[in-house]
Amino acid sequence: MKLKSLLLMSFLSISSIFAQDFISYKQLTSKLINEDKKAGNYASDEDVKKALKAKDWLVVDVRTKEEWSSAHIKGSARVGRQAPEKALELFVYDMDDNFVKKNLIVVCNTAKRASLEAQTFRKMGFKEVKIYDIYSWIDNCNPVATGYSSKKHKTGTKNKFGFYYAEHCKK
């Protein structure tokens, strides 16, 4: 019995030492977002608009399929969160396997997931990687596209489908 108690106490002591090093998701993403802002890696609306037209830039969205379907920036590419590194290969190489999209703007709802994925993309060798939140895009009266269709989703709203603006932008 004493041995069990001793082992339990030892385990609890050791685990509490390791728990002190744990950083929560909220703390980590807040830290990364602040670092990106200080480094000038938080994109503006104009940065996104220019990137959508540029040949060496790609705007990638790391949100879920459902989030993407509800609203996304026209011209952006959805790579999701499951294996975005693999999905990027579809967009950054030309037909001869030349690396042509060397710069990224990574989008998600609040830039938290984008800040995490941006770390990976930087390590993969992208020249410039910025983050952006789609809420800013919407709040600044930029249009979003939707992946829903009136034919497939008929329930309730009788909305027209296509490009949308936030309610406060319609005034």
Output the domain CATH number for residue 57: 3.40.250.10
Q: Is 15 contained in some domain?
A: no
Residue 77's domain comprises 25-169
Residue 3 has pLDDT above 60, yes or no: yes
Q: Is 143 contained in some domain?
A: yes
pLDDT in tens, 45-69: 999 999 999 999 999 999 988 898 8
Residue 168 has pLDDT above 90, yes or no: no
Q: Is 19 contained in some domain?
A: no
What token pair was written down for 162? 């296509």
Residue 18 CA to residue 4 CA, distance in Å, equals 21
Q: Is 139 contained in some domain?
A: yes
What token pair was written down for 29? 């993403």
Mean per-residue pLDDT of the chain: 84
The answer to whether 140 and 115 are in contact (CB under 8 A) is no
The answer to whether 104 and 123 are in contact (CB under 8 A) is no
- The residue among 111, 41, 113 whose CA lies nearest residue 82 is 113
Q: Is 43 contained in some domain?
A: yes
Q: Is 7 contained in some domain?
A: no
Burial of 73 (0-12, 13-18, 19+ CB in 10 A): buried
* Predicted local distance difference test score (pLDDT) of residue 93: 83
Q: Is 16 contained in some domain?
A: no
Ordered DSSP codes for 47-59: HHHHHHH-SSEEE
Q: Is 110 contained in some domain?
A: yes
pLDDT in tens, 67-120: 988 899 999 999 977 777 778 888 888 888 888 899 999 999 999 999 999 999
* Predicted local distance difference test score (pLDDT) of residue 49: 97
Number of independent structural domains in the chain: 1
